């Protein structure tokens, strides 16, 4: 599959730093870029500079009152922007504007025809709502990108696919009645995990009815079960909708052993999902895909999942073990032992109860969303 791939990199993106003890660490991006580099993939990529999102761009999704609040907290440098998870820090307005601007720069590069696929690993801040911060997210870069694609390029059919363990509530509710957004979100069941939303009967409103597809998965869902849920939702919905552009939020916290969530998939599933989305993008939307990071709170998981997603877009196979050079770097940056394999062994628990639960959800979705049309 052809099509050039870009990544947005720049030191400014590491300034989105919620504090030394906060799980959303900028080192996640550092160790990912180092892994990509050590595998020799950089030479296959275009490098894009991030830019600051303008206030007018942030206002495509967020309210003026909320922007003013973030500006005020950013100047002050302390306080909480939500009920507890998202602390303000000095310069947080600019830091999050860099993240949003990096995603916008990626969109511009794709829409100008410079590249087909572009990555912003710092992005994917899918919990922020128009008027408030939530779940480590100050401004919602995927939502601003969707609004930007509609406004600047006049797109009418945009698909948003979210693989993060947490439901992408900011994006889904932000466009709940908007038929120009197909939203497909696989996540850990909201009964067990923040933000507690994203149920199968939340299918959209008005003209957008049947276009919001929520796939809650029970804790411990493994590769086999996840891939079955993915295959039965994502390709049929994309084939039905025929989008002009795809956004992929590839939060790495669905990976086994994430400290904040409880799904049990491995790099293999991230790779397979990305390969399928890549194929669909070339089939339906000239290859246009913006890939964002998101959650992923174990550094080694974030690095391996995102590198693997990237490799499926550039069409390379990764070796079984990460290079020794990267393992040394990883130890220095994190103070932890580095993984010896790119893909963890799969968790092969054939749990019939879980399977039945997931099949029940899929059958319900086939009745009430566009995956059965
Ligand atoms: Zn391609
Ligand atoms: Zn998450």
**For residue 301, which ligand has an atom nearest its CA?**
2
Question: What tokens does 63 get?
Answer: 């309210």
235 CA distance to ligand 1 centroid (A)? 17
Q: Give the pLDDT confidence score for residue 352 in this predicted structure.
A: 87
Is-above-0.85 flag for pTM? yes
167 CA distance to ligand 2 centroid (A)? 7
Domain parsing of the chain, residue ranges = 5-368
**For residue 262, which ligand has an atom nearest its CA?**
2
d(CA 169, CA 180): 17
**Stretch 149-166: mean pLDDT, rounded?**
98
295 CA distance to ligand 2 centroid (A)? 4
135 CA distance to ligand 2 centroid (A)? 8
Secondary element (H or E) of residue 188: strand 181-188
Torsion of CA 334, 124, 217, 321, to 10 degrees: -40
126 CA distance to ligand 2 centroid (A)? 9
What is the DSSP secondary structure assignment for residue 252, as one 8-state letter? G
Question: What tokens does 187 get?
Answer: 């996540």
**For residue 278, which ligand has an atom nearest its CA?**
1
CATH of domain 5-368: 3.40.800.20
Question: What tokens does 276 get?
Answer: 């399928």
Q: Which residues are catalytic?
A: 127
Q: Give the pLDDT confidence score for residue 350 in this predicted structure.
A: 66
Cα-trace Rg, the chain: 19
Q: Give the pLDDT confidence score for residue 19 in this predicted structure.
A: 86
- Measured CA to CA in angstroms, residue 233 lies from 212, 316, 359 at distances of 11, 26, 12
Lowest model confidence (mean pLDDT) among 82-91, 151-160, 194-203, 304-313 = 82-91
Beta-strand runs (E) in 275-355: 289-292
| Chain center to CA of 288 | 16
Higher-pLDDT residue of 372 and 10 is: 10
- pLDDT (tens digit, 9 = 90+) per residue, 127-152? 999 999 999 999 999 999 999 999 99
- pLDDT (tens digit, 9 = 90+) per residue, 83-116? 889 999 999 999 999 999 999 999 999 999 999 9
């Amino acid at each position: 599959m052809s099509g050039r791939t870009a990544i947005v990199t720049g030191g400014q993106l590491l300034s989105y730093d919620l504090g030394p003890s906060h799980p959303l660490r900028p080192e996640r991006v550092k160790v990912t870029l180092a892994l990509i580099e050590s595998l020799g993939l950089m030479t296959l990529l275009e490098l894009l500079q991030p830019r600051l999102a303008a206030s007018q761009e942030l206002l495509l999704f967020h309210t003026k009152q909320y922007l003013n609040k973030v500006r005020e907290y950013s100047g002050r440098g302390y306080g909480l922007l939500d009920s507890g998870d998202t602390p303000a820090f000095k310069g947080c307005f600019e830091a999050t504007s860099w993240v949003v601007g990096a995603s916008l720069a990626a969109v511009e590069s794709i829409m100008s025809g410079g590249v087909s696929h572009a990555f912003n690993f710092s992005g994917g801040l899918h919990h922020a709502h128009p008027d408030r911060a939530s779940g480590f997210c100050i401004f919602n870069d995927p939502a601003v990108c969707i609004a930007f694609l509609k406004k600047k390029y006049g797109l009418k059919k945009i698909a948003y696919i979210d693989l993060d363990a947490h439901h992408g509530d900011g994006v889904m509710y932000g466009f709940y009645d908007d038929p120009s957004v197909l939203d497909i979100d696989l996540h850990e069941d909201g009964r067990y995990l923040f933000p507690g939303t994203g149920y199968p009967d939340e299918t959209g409103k008005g003209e957008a009815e049947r276009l919001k597809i929520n796939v809650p998965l029970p804790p411990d869902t493994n590769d086999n079960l996840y891939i079955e849920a993915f295959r039965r939702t994502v390709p049929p919905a994309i084939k039905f909708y025929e989008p002009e552009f795809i956004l992929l939020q590839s939060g790495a916290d669905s990976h086994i052993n994430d400290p904040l969530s409880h799904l049990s998939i491995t790099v293999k599933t991230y790779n397979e999902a990305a390969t399928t989305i890549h194929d669909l993008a070339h089939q339906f939307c000239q290859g246009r895909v913006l890939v964002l990071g998101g959650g992923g709170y174990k550094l080694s998981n974030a690095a391996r999942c995102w590198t693997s997603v990237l490799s499926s877009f550039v069409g390379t196979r990764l070796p079984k073990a990460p290079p020794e050079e990267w393992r040394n770097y990883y130890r220095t940056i994190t103070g932890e032992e580095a993984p010896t394999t790119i893909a963890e062994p799969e968790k092969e628990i054939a749990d019939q109860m879980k399977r039945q639960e997931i099949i029940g959800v899929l059958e319900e979705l086939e009745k009430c969303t566009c995956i059965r049309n």
